[in-house]
């Protein structure tokens, strides 16, 4: 099944015009694949090259070594309508991903600046009480993690963790680890986060299936992570970092000052919890409704209407407009303030989109050059199920170079031919994406920016971060994959 927004990749060439044709046959193509992945890891880990540049450079190198001509890679100046492998790979994936990530990022920014996260955490803490505060923090991370990126979630919610830990006098691990588990699960398994959205675009799966399987696989995984958090939090004591508490207070004052400069009028009355939950839940419900209507309903006007409002572009636009009105205009924000917050939120997105796009280029080059088919044939001969192979490839790439996004887009490009040959259902491919996503969060360690963010924000030593956060991510990874693997036997 092809994605309606994805440009078709060029067919595999006969390998007659390559600039650097040094190989021939399956063995040579496998060698090119191995050298390409090794070069990618070297450029990211040792040379410290930006992942977008590294992926693009490796894509060009692999294409030339495998026999693609310069014209096939880049097109030709004589024919402006000729679509090159690089253009089709970049445009095919970004046509699907860029809109979703952009809308999701702006939605998360409005929820963040309006105080929606603080309201959510405060209400849950009040509802569950002091004894169950770790569970409240976990649910806060789980719910608020849907529309915001992992690092933004830490920045916004860390002060609440500090306050809960100071009141109880217990280890900060009891409160930060459940929160981190919720943020990490949504970041790995659920749209509109870049990893699952990019994989869905590369492997042509409806986002409704990604949401459904993300919830089914992610909830047991996060429960396992919460259980580990409760166990380790009672065995390792970490004090609340006073310097970070002071820094958080200063940052909050800076945010309020920036709001005043941009025209945002701070509201004394907090946002209603029902409003926050309604805005977050609206796109999920609409997208899921469209997915199930395509299965359960015959073609009709009603089904077309449901599918229209459930298209990810439309559903996220509706949610964003609701946030603009309910959290902004109705609470006294000017239209200029909404524009300022939205525009500022998009600044960090450029790097993510370029990495995802370069991953699409890598996948297109693998397919067009025949390398992906050679890998597919080899993996078929190994005898392992495709879902297991997907998890292991993603896991190795994650541990080796640290970036979950790079691990996901690279793995998706490698396993795409395996899935294309099997004529699998959307549900099965969505589970494979869950396995890829699970592998991409395994064993966060010193080559992962998230490792250092967790250590510094919560005042945890490097040794204790390895014993807590690194293991927590591994628990999430293994549990999520286990659920996906079991479910794959029945779909």
| CA-based nearest residue to 249, from 159, 172, 136 | 159
pLDDT in tens, 151-185: 878 877 887 888 888 888 999 999 999 999 999 99
Tokens describing residue 169: 């006098």
Integer angstrom CA distances of residue 336 from 268, 343, 348: 21, 10, 20
User: How buried is 270 (Cβ within 10 angstroms: 0-12 exposed, 13-18 middle, 19+ buried)?
Assistant: middle
Q: Which residues pair with 79 in a beta bridge?
A: 76
Ramachandran quadrant class, 215 (left: phi over 0; alpha: psi -120 to 50; beta: rest)? alpha
CA distance 323 to 278: 10
Please report the DSSP string for 235-259 in residue order. Answer: TS-----HHHHHHHHHHHHHHHHHH
Q: What pLDDT is recorded for position 216?
A: 97
Q: What pLDDT is recorded for position 371?
A: 81
Low-confidence ranges of the chain (pLDDT < 50): 1-21
CA distance 427 to 215: 13
| CA-based nearest residue to 84, from 97, 75, 92 | 75
Tokens describing residue 148: 């915001």
| CA-based nearest residue to 29, from 372, 417, 364 | 372
Share in percent of the chain as helix, strand, coil (round to 5): 75, 0, 25
Radius of gyration of the chain (CA): 23
Residue linked to tokens 């939090």: 233
- Stated pTM of the model: 0.80
Contact 447, 409 (CB under 8 A): no
**CA-based angle 191:193:197, to the nearest 5?**
60
Q: What pLDDT is recorded for position 48?
A: 85
CA distance 462 to 55: 30
Q: What pLDDT is recorded for position 17?
A: 46
DSSP letter for 329, please: G
């Amino acid at each position: 099944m092809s994605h309606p927004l994805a440009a078709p990749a060029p067919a595999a060439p006969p390998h007659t015009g390559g600039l650097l044709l040094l190989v021939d046959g399956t063995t040579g193509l496998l060698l090119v694949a191995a050298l390409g992945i090794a070069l990618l890891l070297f450029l990211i880990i040792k040379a410290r090259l930006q992942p977008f540049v590294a992926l693009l450079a490796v894509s060009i190198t692999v294409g030339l070594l495998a026999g693609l001509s310069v014209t096939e890679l880049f097109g030709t100046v004589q024919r402006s309508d000729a679509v090159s492998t690089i253009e089709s790979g970049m445009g095919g994936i970004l046509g699907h991903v860029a809109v979703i990530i952009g809308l999701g990022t702006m939605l998360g920014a409005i929820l963040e600046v309006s105080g929606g996260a603080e309201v959510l955490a405060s209400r849950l803490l009040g509802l569950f009480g002091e004894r169950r505060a770790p569970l409240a923090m976990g649910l806060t991370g789980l719910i608020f993690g849907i529309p915001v990126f992992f690092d933004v979630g830490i920045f916004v919610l860390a002060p609440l963790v500090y306050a809960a830990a100071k009141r109880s006098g217990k280890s900060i691990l009891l409160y930060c680890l459940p929160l981190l588990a919720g943020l990490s699960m949504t970041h790995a398994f659920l749209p509109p986060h870049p990893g699952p959205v990019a994989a869905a675009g590369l492997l042509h799966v409806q986002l409704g299936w990604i949401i459904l399987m993300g919830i089914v696989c992610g909830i047991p995984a996060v429960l396992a992570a919460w259980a580990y958090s409760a166990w380790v939090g009672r065995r390792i004591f970490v004090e609340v970092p006073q310097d970070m508490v002071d820094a958080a207070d200063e940052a909050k004052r800076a945010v309020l000052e920036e709001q005043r400069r941009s025209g945002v009028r701070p509201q004394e009355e907090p946002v209603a919890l029902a409003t926050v939950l309604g805005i977050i839940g609206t796109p999920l419900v609409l997208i899921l409704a469209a997915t199930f209507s395509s299965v359960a309903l015959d073609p009709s006007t009603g089904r077309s209407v449901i599918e229209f409002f459930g298209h990810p572009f439309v559903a996220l636009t509706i949610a964003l407009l609701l946030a603009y009105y309910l959290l902004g205009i109705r609470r006294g924000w000017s239209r200029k303030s909404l524009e300022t917050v939205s525009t500022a939120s998009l600044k960090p997105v450029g790097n993510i989109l370029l990495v995802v796009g370069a991953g699409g280029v890598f996948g297109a080059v693998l397919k067009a050059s025949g390398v992906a088919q050679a890998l597919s044939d080899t993996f078929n001969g190994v005898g392992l199920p495709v879902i297991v192979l997907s998890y292991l490839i993603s896991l190795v790439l994650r541990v080796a170079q640290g970036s979950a996004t790079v691990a996901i887009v690279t793995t998706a490009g490698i396993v795409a031919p395996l899935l294309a040959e099997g004529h699998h259902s959307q549900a099965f491919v969505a589970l494979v994406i869950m396995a890829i996503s699970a592998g991409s969060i395994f064993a966060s360690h010193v080559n992962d920016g998230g490792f250092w963010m967790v250590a510094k924000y919560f005042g945890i030593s490097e040794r204790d971060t390895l014993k807590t956060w690194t293991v927590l991510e591994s628990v999430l990874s293994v549990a999520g994959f286990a659920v996906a693997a079991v479910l794959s036997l029945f779909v």
